[in-house]
Amino acid sequence: MDMQVAKKKLGLKEKYQVMTRGLDWEPSYQKKEDIYPYASYEGIKIHDWDKWEDPFRLTMDAYWKYQAEKERKLYAIIDAYAQNNGHLNVTDARYINTVKLFLTGVSPLEYMAHRGFAHAGRAFPGAGPRVACLMQSLDEIRHAQTQIHALSNFNKHYNGLHDFRHMHDRVWYLSVPKSFFDDAVTAGPFEFMVAIGFSFEYVLTNLLFVPFVSGAAYNGDMGTMTFGFSAQSDEARHMTLGLEVIKFILEQDPDNLPIVQRWIDKWTWRGYRVLTLVAMMMDYMLPKRTMSWKEAWEVYFEENGGALFKDLARYGITMPRCAETIALEKDHLSHQAWGTFYNYGAAAAFHTWVPEKEEMDWLAAKYPQSFDKYYRPRLEFWREQAAKGNRFYNKTLPMLCQTCQIPMLFTEPGDPTKICYREVDYQGSKYHFCSDHCKEIFEHEPEKYVQSWLPVHQIYQGSCFPEGTDPSAEGFDPLAAVLQYYHLEFGRDNLDFEGSEDQKNFDLWRGQATKNG
């Protein structure tokens, strides 16, 4: 890069003042509370918005300059990757299933984050956070767009990527990330900032982007590596915003502490539950692995998150209590998650498989406390049965958690042989949860979570069939109708990787790429 550094007229600090506060004005003929109607109902007290400062002191003019540079680099690489049939350089075609899960599960959240930060920015009476939220809102739509562009290249060649937006609003496992973000954007602006800006961006996204994107690079997927790191370059600013938000709110009024602590507890857990998908991607779906989910958790949450919460202790903030539960789950999470997708591989828009022997040995080495004892017997049984033509497809719909919407696959803290069941009676009806934390979240705001659109219940209510379907017709096949409603083509987008069209095409094309036909 050859970037000219212009002679500065103003120092960074002065320029930041001029380009944020300097652009703001005091209203003269409208009341402030009419202009900012969402600024106080959550109970957060702010006395002086001018105390807010972005430590990067980034202003819009510099923002455009650097973002443009990032985009130029990104698209040059994406174009080169596509022109060179880079998809044939990935380790093996199983890898592409991680991209399918990412596009259908994560990219639509980037778009929702764009909307969420635009809304929060509009709602805040302070010029500093408004400018920072504006930048983040623009970043997030950039992420959605660059991910869609980068992954559209895979859609030309592989199945399951053809209708990601439609699927995001309907497919059972995608209700987990979707409902997580819908929960955040339907909260007030302060809770949204703590939920997404702090708990998700600061505490958890490193786990999504850093080891996973580094893993994409390791598996030869330069397209995903590029959009991933380009997005992550914005994340550093988002994380900084998230941390500043917390510090700012806490410094403004002592009454804010209990509200903020409760939001941190709630959203660390909500975000962690969504990362269940990432745990399984790292341990099971990357053919070449960089680090295990457990190792990533230890580095990015226990070590870095631990330092963060120690730093925030001066405000009275404590480590979320769910961290203790999570520590007990880290030996089990990815195995239980992958087992669930193996169960329901007929209803997923990507392929599943049993890991090969060497992969199981890697898992055993990374998870000496759990893998051989609890998970290897299960996987080996499935492999034996599949070899006999009796591949396991679970055809009965699972019970879901009312809060996180994940099937009730999690085990009791400290006992991996027992499913964790929790329930609450509320207004004459029963509600079920996967954990104490999901139960507590419900109990605090039951009016919100009784509205959960649980895919299994919606299927049984008859809401998940294509328009015009008659479920009382002779020979009606509900599963087939649900897959049609999802726009998921049976036998092509789903089922085992072994024998899939993706597998056959990849082998054929790779063969053509390495020798004359």
Q: Which of residues 156-195 bind other proteins (CB under 8 A)?
A: 188, 191
DSSP 8-state code for residue 313: G
- For residue 301, state whether it binds other proteins (rule: CB under 8 A): no
- Report d(CA 156, CA 275) in Å as an integer: 28
- For residue 146, state whether it binds other proteins (rule: CB under 8 A): no
Q: Which of residues 193-252 bind other proteins (CB under 8 A)?
A: 206, 209-210, 213-215, 217-218, 225, 229, 232-237, 239-240, 243
Using CB under 8 A, which of 21, 457, 492, 510 touches other proteins? Answer: 457
Contact predicate 350/361, CB 8 Å? no
| Residue 163 or 221 with smaller CB distance to other proteins | 221
Q: Which of residues 28-57 bind other proteins (CB under 8 A)?
A: 37-38, 41-43, 55-57
- For residue 411, state whether it binds other proteins (rule: CB under 8 A): yes
- Report d(CA 216, CA 118) in Å as an integer: 30
Contact predicate 128/138, CB 8 Å? no
- Report d(CA 61, CA 63) in Å as an integer: 5
486-508: burial string, b at 16+ Cβ within 10 Å, e else:
bbbbeeebbbbbeebebbeebee
| Residue 218 or 362 with smaller CB distance to other proteins | 218
Using CB under 8 A, which of 452, 494, 500, 503 touches other proteins? Answer: 452
Q: Is 26 helix (H, G, I), strand (E, B) or coil?
A: coil
| Residue 11 or 22 with smaller CB distance to other proteins | 11
| Residue 117 or 212 with smaller CB distance to other proteins | 212
Site for other proteins (CB under 8 A): how many residues?
A: 104
Closest approach, Cβ 410 to other proteins, in A, equals 9
User: Which residue from 453, 421, 359 is spatially nearest to 168, judged by alpha carbons?
Assistant: 453
- For residue 470, state whether it binds other proteins (rule: CB under 8 A): no
Using CB under 8 A, which of 447, 467, 470, 474 touches other proteins? Answer: 447
- For residue 12, state whether it binds other proteins (rule: CB under 8 A): yes
- Which range in 2-10, 80-88, 152-160, 482-490 contacts other proteins by CB under 8 A? 2-10
User: Which residue from 165, 127, 162 is spatially nearest to 144, judged by alpha carbons?
Assistant: 165
Q: Which residues contact 178 (CB under 8 A, 6 or more apart)?
A: 108, 109, 168, 169
Closest approach, Cβ 162 to other proteins, in A, equals 27
Strands 429-433 and 422-426: antiparallel
Closest approach, Cβ 14 to other proteins, in A, equals 10
Closest approach, Cβ 196 to other proteins, in A, equals 16
Using CB under 8 A, which of 86, 89, 119, 398 touches other proteins? Answer: 398
Tell me the CA distances in angstroms from 153 to 80, 99, 147, 223, 279, one per residue in order.
11, 11, 10, 9, 25
Closest approach, Cβ 316 to other proteins, in A, equals 13
- For residue 448, state whether it binds other proteins (rule: CB under 8 A): yes
DSSP 8-state code for residue 225: H
- For residue 396, state whether it binds other proteins (rule: CB under 8 A): yes
Q: Which residues pair with 121 in a beta bridge?
A: none
Using CB under 8 A, which of 340, 352, 403, 503 touches other proteins? Answer: 340
Note the helical H segments in 156-201.
164-168, 175-185, 189-192
| Residue 169 or 507 with smaller CB distance to other proteins | 169
- For residue 516, state whether it binds other proteins (rule: CB under 8 A): no
- For residue 407, state whether it binds other proteins (rule: CB under 8 A): yes
- For residue 430, state whether it binds other proteins (rule: CB under 8 A): yes
Closest approach, Cβ 501 to other proteins, in A, equals 26
- For residue 399, state whether it binds other proteins (rule: CB under 8 A): yes
Contact predicate 264/317, CB 8 Å? yes
- Report d(CA 98, CA 77) in Å as an integer: 20
Angle between helix 222-252 and 205-218 (nearest 10): 170
295-322: burial string, b at 16+ Cβ within 10 Å, e else:
ebbbbbbeeebeebbeebeebebebbeb
Q: Which residues pair with 419 in a beta bridge?
A: 411
- For residue 75, state whether it binds other proteins (rule: CB under 8 A): no
Q: Which of residues 113-132 bind other proteins (CB under 8 A)?
A: none
- For residue 477, state whether it binds other proteins (rule: CB under 8 A): no
In one letter, which amino acid is 289? R
Closest approach, Cβ 97 to other proteins, in A, equals 18
- For residue 465, state whether it binds other proteins (rule: CB under 8 A): no
